[in-house]
Structure 1
Amino acid sequence: MATMSGIPLVFTVRRCKPEFVTPAKPTPREQKLLSDIDDQASLRFQVPLIFFYRQEPSMEGKHPAEVIRTALAQTLVLYYPLAGRLREGANGKLIVDCNGEGVMFIKADADVTLEQFGDALQPPFPCFDELLFDVPGSQGILNCPLLLIQVTRLNCGGFIFAIRLNHTMADAPGLKQFVSSVAVMARDESTHLIPRPVWERHLLDARDPPRVTCTHHEYDQVEASLPLDNLVQRSFFFGPTQVSLLRRLLPMHLRYCTKFELLTASLWRCRSLAINLDPHEKVRMLCIVNARFKMEPLLPQGYYGNTFVFPAAITTVKNLGKNPLGYAVELVKQAKASLTEEYIKSVVALMVTTDKQLNFPNVIGSFIISDLTKIGFEDVDFGWGKAVFAGTANAVGVVSFFVSAKNKKGEVGTSVAICLPAPAMERFARELDNMLKQQLIEDNKSKSKRILSVM
């Protein structure tokens, strides 16, 4: 049983046996090194995404899984490293064995309609295990498929495309580039619309000799203050009203900050107050920032490897609580501003000098945010039109993702899935609600004063 928007949703998924989709033509049999950014320990995990599509009358009679499977095989001719397997070389260096074994693919049908999932499609999706079956033995980083895909046709004629990526192979823009290429093939359009994939991973290798020239609090090794178990997930939606209320909590000189900075600061503040740490304990916010446009020269178009770093803001629980929201916004802005080309080179050097073993702190006092709202996953069209929803299926531990979504009113906004122990989640929701109500109270006071002044 799955639950969407509090309503029990029971459905059955009939899956075909998982198969390997291999490149449609022979591809080079070679080994390719990942970059020093790609193969760091902090990226050795799987990230799941989900795409919902409506019925398209012009595609009547076509099973979306069969269309996508054919397109996937064609696309893997260009992206043949994704059909390979990761091996580990000297000093933990990851190497792609381009052996053409293929990506794992599942064709499925479900006796449910898109409408039954509710008006507001937002992560987390409690039914996700039905829509992306975790094939036993497929979830490892080494010697396992680099992609797992399930295409589930719905009773209404729509379908759900779910994909799980070994994060060492690509970041969000890189994955968008790949699935967009599959979509072009599925629509049987000219392949000149597909940007040619570029490997060139050596461009993000450490200089010789490697030099760590910046401070990297994102890799501080700290002890967990609270256990990261018995976790629950909940999605929070920020439409125009919520964003406006939060923005009015800021002083005038900060009100033109980006929505990312505003929401990240607000969520970080609420989360830090909700987890009941010692007031003097340090908490960290790591914002994942795309470094593609910080490199000189720019990385070539078509590069699909990992090109992000996550500069950190650090303060104490007490400072976040006693200071107004603008304090947290300033910290987020400073963290983003620290991202320079030299910072990127310093991160790469740190990976090499520590043998890739540094991981970002996966503890309750760390909060990691990745903004996917500008990636355009919803624009991926396999022939059934643009996706109704497209983005990450849930939070991944201490990592939360901003995704584009609509609420029940049809308002477009940002949805964020938060993962916390159940009692902390309740406190988090109260903290956020109090922040929003705080500005409403101030607005009502101002309105009352204006009315009295004219009486």
Structure 2
Amino acid sequence: MEPLVQMQVTQFECGGFVIGLTFCHSICDGLGAAQFLNAVGELGRGLKQPGVAPVWHRDFFPPSDHQLESVTPLPMLPPPMPGYKLEHANIDISMDQINQLKQQFNESTGLNSSAFEIVAASFWSHRTKAINFEKNTEVKLVFFANCRQMLDPPLPKGFYGNCFFPVTITSSSDWVETASDVDVLKLVQEAKTKLAVEFGKFMEGDHMRNGEDPFAPLSYTTLFISEWGRLGFNQIDYGWGPPVHVVPIQGSSIIPTG
């Protein structure tokens, strides 16, 4: 049985330390994990109770009995991932580069953009060009979005379970390779505006009826991007101040790949 939480603390001779964490994703999502670690830090600093009380509230998801009527069989799983020996890498992108792309997008469209949108669109474009897929291959960009406020009523503060939904952008490899950064970014923003509608369809069980599983395993033609900057890990304080560096470890068990 998979442990709910595992933590390892390694102290260095300089006095610094690193905390490694793995958790059961069935219990909490990224926001929930950060909430848990912040609570550990608050209790470790002597607080009598966490600043945000944990809320279970798992009954928000509607019963699935009515969804099983007229179910369309889900498609076959995608082909297995190529057996490439992938290497873990850290790449720093300066804010000057991001701000330059933001300015370019604003001058072309009159619209604003976030750092995540800029990075996601740029990575998708460059990855597609680098792989050089066969002509007109269907490629996807996928990232998860928090849906706590999209429920009616919204989930209460302190809910630490899973409540996210994938934003999926689909296009042909030819288009992504030749499109400008501005056009790819516009496609990302358009997909985000449809999140509430797509999440509503999922809650109503449309995916069960039409055979489209938004959480299906991903193939090599899909770029999956996860944003960690706003989850709350950079605010955790065990008594020595916030962390100097936060990074996810390499591990396929937390990424929905085929």
Tell me which amino acid in the other structure corresponds to 2:54. P
Tell me which amino acid in the other structure corresponds to 1:146. L
Residues 68 and 208 of structure 2 are in contact (CA less than 8 Å); yes or no, is this contact kept in structure 1?
A: no
**Residue of structure 1 in register with 2:29 after alignment:** 171
Q: Does 1:185 align with 2:43?
A: yes
| TM-aligned CA deviation for residue 399 of structure 1 | 5.3
The TM-score normalised by the length of structure 2 is 0.85
Residues 282 and 317 of structure 1 are in contact (CA less than 8 Å); yes or no, is this contact kept in structure 2?
A: yes
Larger mean CA deviation between 328-337 and 342-351 belongs to 342-351
Structure 1 pair 315–395 and aligned structure 2 pair: CA distance change class (3 A): farther
Tell me which amino acid in the other structure corresponds to 1:200. H
Between the aligned partners of 1:242 and 1:273, the Cα distance in structure 2 is 20
Between the aligned partners of 2:89 and 2:247, the Cα distance in structure 1 is 15
Higher alpha-carbon Rg: 1
Between the aligned partners of 1:247 and 1:187, the Cα distance in structure 2 is 40
Between the aligned partners of 1:185 and 1:296, the Cα distance in structure 2 is 33
| TM-aligned CA deviation for residue 207 of structure 1 | 6.0
SS in 2 for 1:263: helix
SS in 2 for 1:181: helix
Question: Relative CO higher for 1 or 2, CA cutoff 8 Å, sep ≥ 6?
Answer: 2
| TM-aligned CA deviation for residue 359 of structure 1 | 4.3
Structure 1 pair 320–304 and aligned structure 2 pair: CA distance change class (3 A): same
**Residue of structure 1 in register with 2:198 after alignment:** 343
| Superposition pairs of residues 100-139 of structure 1, within 5 angstroms | none
Pairing partner for 1:162 from 20, 24, 31: 20
Residues 149 and 161 of structure 1 are in contact (CA less than 8 Å); yes or no, is this contact kept in structure 2?
A: yes
Between the aligned partners of 2:42 and 2:131, the Cα distance in structure 1 is 45
Q: Deviations over 1:92-118 (max 9, x none)?
A: xxxxxxxxxxxxxxxxxxxxxxxxxxx
**Residue of structure 1 in register with 2:144 after alignment:** 288
**Residue of structure 2 in register with 1:199 after alignment:** 56
Pairing partner for 2:175 from 316, 319, 323: 319
SS in 2 for 1:177: helix
Q: Deviations over 1:134-184 (max 9, x none)?
A: xxxxxxxxx221211101111111111110112121111111111111111
Larger mean CA deviation between 358-367 and 145-154 belongs to 358-367
Between the aligned partners of 2:253 and 2:177, the Cα distance in structure 1 is 24
Q: Does 1:279 align with 2:130?
A: no
Larger mean CA deviation between 153-162 and 219-228 belongs to 219-228
Pairing partner for 1:265 from 118, 121, 125: 121
Between the aligned partners of 1:257 and 1:183, the Cα distance in structure 2 is 34
The structure whose residues are more often strand, as a share, is: 1
| TM-aligned CA deviation for residue 230 of structure 1 | 1.2
Between the aligned partners of 1:316 and 1:331, the Cα distance in structure 2 is 12
| Superposition pairs of residues 209-248 of structure 1, within 5 angstroms | 209-210=66-67, 223-224=78-79, 227-248=82-103
SS in 2 for 1:390: coil
| TM-aligned CA deviation for residue 301 of structure 1 | 1.5
Gaps of 5+ in 2: none
Between the aligned partners of 1:167 and 1:158, the Cα distance in structure 2 is 28
Tell me which amino acid in the other structure corresponds to 2:217. P
Between the aligned partners of 1:166 and 1:376, the Cα distance in structure 2 is 18
Tell me which amino acid in the other structure corresponds to 1:171. D
Structure 1 pair 358–318 and aligned structure 2 pair: CA distance change class (3 A): closer
SS in 2 for 1:233: coil
| TM-aligned CA deviation for residue 320 of structure 1 | 0.8
| TM-aligned CA deviation for residue 327 of structure 1 | 1.7
**Residue of structure 2 in register with 1:380 after alignment:** 236
**Residue of structure 2 in register with 1:151 after alignment:** 9
Structure 1 pair 322–294 and aligned structure 2 pair: CA distance change class (3 A): same
Q: Deviations over 1:231-264 (max 9, x none)?
A: 1222221222211333354352155112111111
Between the aligned partners of 2:77 and 2:114, the Cα distance in structure 1 is 30
Tell me which amino acid in the other structure corresponds to 1:172. G
Between the aligned partners of 1:335 and 1:221, the Cα distance in structure 2 is 25
Amino-acid identity (%): 24
SS in 2 for 1:392: coil
* Aligned pairs, number: 250
Q: Deviations over 1:254-312 (max 9, x none)?
A: 55112111111001111111122113001001121100111121101211111100021
SS in 2 for 1:210: helix
| TM-aligned CA deviation for residue 352 of structure 1 | 6.3
Between the aligned partners of 1:330 and 1:211, the Cα distance in structure 2 is 36
Larger mean CA deviation between 241-250 and 368-377 belongs to 241-250
| TM-aligned CA deviation for residue 222 of structure 1 | 6.6
Q: Deviations over 1:80-99 (max 9, x none)?
A: xxxxxxxxxxxxxxxxxxxx
Tell me which amino acid in the other structure corresponds to 2:66. P
Between the aligned partners of 1:332 and 1:172, the Cα distance in structure 2 is 22
Between the aligned partners of 1:315 and 1:384, the Cα distance in structure 2 is 47
SS in 2 for 1:283: strand
